[in-house]
Structure 1
Amino acid sequence: MHHLVRAGLAVALLSAVSSQAVGASRFLQDPYPSTYRPQPSEAVLIHNATVLTGTGQRLDDADVLLRDGRIEAVGRGLQAGAEVRRVDAHGRWVTPGLIDVHSHLGVYPSPGVSAHSDGNEMTAPVTANVWAEHSVWPQDPGFAEALAGGVTSMQVLPGSANLVGGRGVTLKNVPTTTYQAMKFPGAPWGLKMACGENPKRVYGGKGTAPATRMGNVAGYRAAFIDASEYIAKNSPKPTPRKRWFGSGDGSDSSGDSGGKRDLKLDTLAGAIQGDIRVHIHCYRADEMATMLDLADEFGFKVAAFHHGVEAYKLADRLAAEGVCGALWADWWGFKMEAFDGIAENIALVDRPANSCAVVHSDSPEGIQRLNQEAAKAVAAARRAGMDEIPPERAITWLTHNAARALGIEGQTGSLEVGKMADVVVWNGNPFSSYALADQVFIDGHRYYDRTVPGAKPVSDFRLGQEVQ
């Protein structure tokens, strides 16, 4: 466990974390559980393709067999019965489904009108009590457009106005009526935090704290101190302040009052105990280092820094501490904290052993072309004279590493036997400017086929507009 600088919290936290198996499940109860069910699927043999497995391997003239919604086999010369549908992929490439770890689809849906602005709960600097999933609008036309770009899963996050914006949710990119039917089964929640300009601008502009970067850090520390005490008060050891925790009959509150259940501190406690993955919007290297120190102080782990235009400055530390860098290819200079961004950022973060470079979008347009964003990073590295990054390496930025950041790498993110059959068939090299997804499978069901009219989901909202 991380060393705790504050001695007064050390005993309480050590005691609480030692009882994680009992306490964590209470902090993580989900009254809105996933109702996702894979659609029926036929067995499919995709053959004669260039296969990028997502594990760093490339197989030429190879096959992928999908059966019962899972990857059954990957290799050359696979045999299958007459009942198996065959897809001739000669000249095509096959990859795992792409995963975007930073999306606001559904919470800032299209069309972009004020009535759809549901991503930032700008009522307090710390709103860990809110869950992005409760803002997700499944009719957002952006989901279908992302599917056409090969995206099969994504994490939808709150915005970055707050120090702690709330919980994010991982979704399967399938057409549904409810967000629960999109929730990725068993995926851990994310906790969205933000450092730097955004929270201090939002709240400083209101004449409240935080108004500075030092105010930001003070706000994080105060929130995690409260959460640390909350864990101790609600540990399995009997205590008069355990009422809601033991029986569930206490009412919710907006603060830690009298032992009542507190939705904000539920989330922060889950992060400290390692059950909710911490994702931090952070640009500058010095601030990323500060956030790593904050994590060390309170005993939580950072899953990924998002945007991180200066992540290249501490790539070795990120790799050593197992922290992913979820990054853009080339967003530079649009605000002060982005001025030291470089186009080689992703490639440099990818260089150390055990690194975890990820390409993300933070954009309803960018999510449609994540493959091209990765291609731009490869080209930037080439222009800088770095070692050539082969396709089998670059695809991990969009698949396996992204799944690792979200804690779902055991289920998806690579073409390995037994994993979900989340698969994309491309018309050529996915890192070409001309690349298009021909077919997209999610759990073995073909949700998208570019060559078949009508074989693409269309949102109810868009259908309604066409009728009108």
Structure 2
Amino acid sequence: MFMTMKQFSKSFLAAFVGAAFLVGCGEDEPAVHPKDSDSQAFISQYEAQSYHPVLIRNATILTATGEQIENGSILFADGEIVEVGTDIDEPSDDDLEVIDAKGKWVTPGLIDVHSHLGVYPAPGVQSSSDGNEMTSPVTADVWAEHSVWPQDPQFQLALAGGVTAMQILPGSANLVGGRGVTLKNVAGRSVMDMKFPDAPYGLKMACGENPKRVYGGKGQAPMTRMGNVAGYRKSWIDAKEYMESWDNYEAGMGNGKPPKRDLRLESLAGVLRGEILIQNHCYRADEMLVMMEIAKEFDFKVTTFHHAVESYKIADKLAENGVCSAMWSDWWGFKQEAYDMVPSNVALVDKAGACAVVHSDSATVIQHLNKEAAKAMTSGNQLGMDITPAHAIKWITINAAKAIGVDEQTGSLEEGKMADVVLWDGNPFSVYTKAEKVFIDGALKYDRNNQFKQPVSDFGLTNIKQ
């Protein structure tokens, strides 16, 4: 949880009192179809902070709709964007805060679609390494949110880099690694306090070397890429049968007895029902094409390929199938399947009309997503693509929001969307620029010039001397 020293004592007392009254119940659940939307467990408890209206004037604004507004203004209130443009009348509100941003830039809050904050928290010790359930090739039953440690001090470092939301994923040891969760980058005693309201779950899958190495090294299946594919297909066959058994039960068919709940098959069936998005770790172009064939066989969709260093080879196919690629700007060569990388990967995917995203997969890189996008933009421009900041900002905002299913709520500066806004002290595509103020749902969560708005996790606080 992020907090100032002044907030610490109140928060500690609240947590202590709350913990003293926690009780548990073990009542059986009624026999109903096991859809997440029907459950009251593990739902978001996030509440946007109440904050006064804010008007930022005289800024260069990148809306992530392709527009760059010079000497622009943005007004937000009650957690939402009210207006963006060059001619905004100042509301007659005594609580209005007006910020003169001459020489500064404004963008949507940055979104990282591939993070392991909280499940691989700092300090990086084995006792808190909770991202990979390496006990079976298919662990669709595990959920990353059940490992997230809200006090991970890396959350506030990402906030200082302008990151307002992120998808936390399990690791990539397994064919199916489990569910990811999308979080608002805010303080919380529980991960439920951070969960992005109504964001769909993502199901993490992994191609290629990782499952082969983890299980083949134990003399288990899968040992080969064909073993990987067989494992996926067997799982989807089981999931389809499970889904049909519940459909038959609800239709009054059979003996009237509900099927037994299976957490692994529940997650897989959620994909087949279109409720859970596939987030697929996959490097090689040929394997991405195979995964899209599996999706055709079982009638689901791959939402996003992650890492995807060879996406440039099949950019037209990705565009044709409406699949996003989440990529690094220049990481490559750390294993064989990551070797055939080009620095213009992001730009080439974008040029083909596919959904291009810059992601981190790193507690360090997440602090510099704007610079990663700048590198990808520069690589494209060196090939003569003429990519502008107004376009490249999409790779870490609205395209990222699309890749995790929250683009209707956030990711661009448009009327009615969440007021997730970053004020930069210069051009965000410069290595010299820093995030100056970060607003989440219109509330100031970080201010580089105010130490009392630079949150610190509980774990980051120094020992209190008596």
Partner residue in 2 for 1:256: none
Tell me if the contact between 2:145 and 2:181 (Cα under 8 Å) persists in the aligned partners: yes
1:233 touches 1:241 (CA, 8 Å); kept in 2?
A: no
Rounded to whole Å, the distance in 1 between the matches of 2:280 and 2:179 is: 12
Asked if the contact 1:24/1:275 (under 8 Å) is kept, the reply is no
User: Equivalents in 2 of 1:307, 1:225: separation in Å?
Assistant: 27
Q: 2:181 aligns with which of 148, 166, 169?
A: 169
2:411 corresponds to 1:407? no
Q: Which moved more, 1:46-55 or 1:235-244?
A: 235-244
SS of corresponding position for 2:329: coil
- CA shift, 1:380, in A, is 1.2
**CA displacement at 1:399 relative to structure 2:** 0.4
The equivalent residue for 1:135 is: 147
Distance 1:428 1:138 in 2: 31
Aligned to 2:25: none
**Relative to 1, partners in 2 of residues 1:439 and 1:466: Cα closer, same or farther, differing over 3 Å?**
farther
Give the Cα separation in 2 of the matches to 1:413 and 1:130: 28
**Alignment deviations for residues 249-279 of structure 1 (CA, whole Å, 9 cap, x no partner):** xxxxxxxxxx210000000000111110000
Cα separation, 1, equivalents of 2:181 and 2:449: 32
TM-score, normalised to structure 1's length?
0.90
Aligned to 1:147: 159
- Residue 463 of structure 1 and its aligned partner are, at CA, apart by 0.9
1:178-217 deviation digits (Å, cap 9, x = unpaired): 1000000000000000000001100011111111111100
User: 232, 237, 248: which is aligned to 2:251?
Assistant: 237
- Asked whether the equivalents of residues 326 and 357 of structure 2 are also in contact (C-alpha less than 8 Å), the reply is yes
Task: Report the equivalent of 2:22.
Answer: none
Retained in 2: the 8 A contact 1:24–1:270?
A: no
Distance 2:365 2:162 in 1: 12
- Give the secondary structure class of the aligned counterpart of 1:73: strand
Tell me the equivalent position of 2:415. 417
Q: Give the equivalent residue in structure 2 for 1:53.
A: 63
TM-score (norm 2): 0.90
Picking from 433, 436, 450, the partner of 1:435 is 433
Aligned to 1:336: 336
Structure 1 residue 352 displacement after superposition: 1.9
Matched-pair contact (CA < 8 Å) for 1:131–1:166: yes
Matching of residues 71-150 of structure 1 within 5 Å: 71-80=81-90, 81-83=92-94, 84-150=96-162
Which residue identity does 2:45 align to in structure 1? T
Aligned with 2:193: secondary structure?
coil
Residue in structure 1 matched with residue 41 of structure 2 by the alignment = 31
Q: Which residue in the other structure is 1:12 paired with?
A: none
Secondary structure of the residue aligned to 2:45 is: coil
Letter in 2 for 1:434: Y
Gaps of 5+ in 1: 1-21, 245-258
Distance 1:189 1:30 in 2: 15
Q: Secondary structure of 1:234's partner? A: helix
Q: Tell me the equivalent position of 2:289.
A: 289
Runs of 4 or more off by more than 3 Å in structure 1? 22-30, 239-244, 464-468
> Do the aligned residues in 1 keep the contact of 2:34 with 2:266 (CA within 8 Å)?
no
Provide the residue aligned with 2:448 in structure 1.
450
Whole-Å Cα distance in 2 between the matches of residues 465 and 239 of structure 1?
Answer: 63
Identity in percent = 59
The structural deviation recorded for 1:454 is: 2.1
3-state secondary structure, aligned to 1:350: helix
Out of 152-161 and 453-462, give the one that drifted further.
453-462
Residues 467, 317 of structure 1: alpha-carbon distance in 2 compared, 3 angstrom cutoff = farther
The CA RMSD over aligned residues, in Å, is 1.5
Aligned residue type for 1:264 = R
The separation in 2 between residues aligned to 1:145 and 1:151, in whole angstroms, is: 9
- What is the match of residue 251 of structure 1? none
Describe the superposition over 1:269-317 as per-residue Cα deviations: whole angstroms up to 9, x where unpaired: 0011111000000000000000000100001101100000000000011
Whole-angstrom CA distance in 1 between matches of 2:445 and 2:355: 29
2:193 aligned residue:
181
- State the distance in 1 between where 2:465 and 2:348 align: 50
Equivalent pair of 1:24/1:273 in contact (CA under 8 Å): no
Q: SS at the partner of 1:74?
A: strand
Q: Partners in 2 of 1:367 and 1:112 — Cα distance? A: 16
Deviations 1:29-80 (A, max 9, x none): 3511110000111100001000000111111100000111100000112112
C-alpha contact (below 8 Å) 1:230/1:265 kept by paired residues: yes
Task: Please list, as runs of the form range in 1=range in 2, the aligned pairs for 1:216-227 lying within 5 A after superposition.
Answer: 216-227=228-239
Q: Any unmatched runs of 5+ in structure 2?
A: 1-31
Letter paired with 1:219 = G
Aligned residues: 431
Residue 131 of structure 1, CA deviation: 0.3
Residue of structure 2 in register with 1:17 after alignment: none
Instruction: Give the structure 2 partner of residue 368 of structure 1.
Output: 367
Q: Distance in 2 between matches of 1:382 and 1:30?
A: 49
Aligned residue for 2:385, secondary structure, equals coil
1:64 match: secondary structure: strand
1:239-388 mapped onto 2 (5 Å cutoff): 239-240=253-254, 243-244=257-258, 259-353=259-353, 355-383=354-382, 385-388=383-386
**Cα pair 1:102 1:361 within 8 Å, conserved:** yes
- Which SS does the other structure have where 2:451 is aligned? coil
Offset, 1:456? 1.4
**Structure 1: distance between partners of 2:347 and 2:266:** 37
Query: Is the aligned partner of 1:70 residue 2:80?
Result: yes
Do the aligned residues in 2 keep the contact of 1:27 with 1:270 (CA within 8 Å)? no
Q: What SS class does the counterpart of residue 351 from structure 2 fall into?
A: coil
Kept in 1, the 8 Å contact 2:34–2:261? The answer is no
The code of the aligned residue for 1:374 comes to A
